[in-house]
Amino acid sequence: MQDIYILQSFQNLVINIFLKNQKLFLIKLFLVASSPGGCAFEREVTPPDWVLDYWHPLEKAQYPEYFARREQRKKEYVQWWEKQYGKPNPADLHH
């Protein structure tokens, strides 16, 4: 009987603390991981464009139009680069 009384007293204490500090509890509830102050704030990483070059051919086959357009644009970019800056010297291509 005494254990039940202690448990009820503890529950009442917790409820009273919650009601008195309700604003504090509500603020904590809305702190999402990706919001400022959250553990994952500004952790979203945008992968660089070259990552798509390393996709497996079966992955690329799921998006044939996109990768066909991508290859065409890469060729156009190389042509623009060579027109703008000239072809690279083969001696400078090694690491």
Q: Give Cβ neighbours of residue 35 (< 8 Å, ≥ 6 apart).
A: 41
pLDDT in tens, 32-86: 777 777 777 888 888 999 999 999 999 999 999 999 999 999 999 999 999 999 9
Q: Do residues 59 and 39 share a domain?
A: no
What pLDDT was estimated at residue 61?
97
C-beta separation of 53 from 59 below 8 A: no
Q: Do residues 3 and 32 share a domain?
A: yes
**pTM for the structure as a whole:** 0.51
What pLDDT was estimated at residue 23?
60
Q: Do residues 37 and 4 share a domain?
A: yes
Q: Do residues 28 and 64 share a domain?
A: no
E strand or H helix that includes residue 68: helix 64-85
C-beta separation of 39 from 46 below 8 A: no
Structural domain for 38, as ranges: 1-44
On the question of pLDDT at 4 being above 90, the answer is: no
Distance CA(60)–CA(53), nearest Å, equals 9
Q: Which residue has the higher pLDDT, 66 or 5?
A: 66
Q: Do residues 14 and 34 share a domain?
A: yes
On the question of pLDDT at 29 being above 60, the answer is: no
What pLDDT was estimated at residue 94?
76
The total number of structural domains in the chain stands at 2
Q: Do residues 4 and 39 share a domain?
A: yes
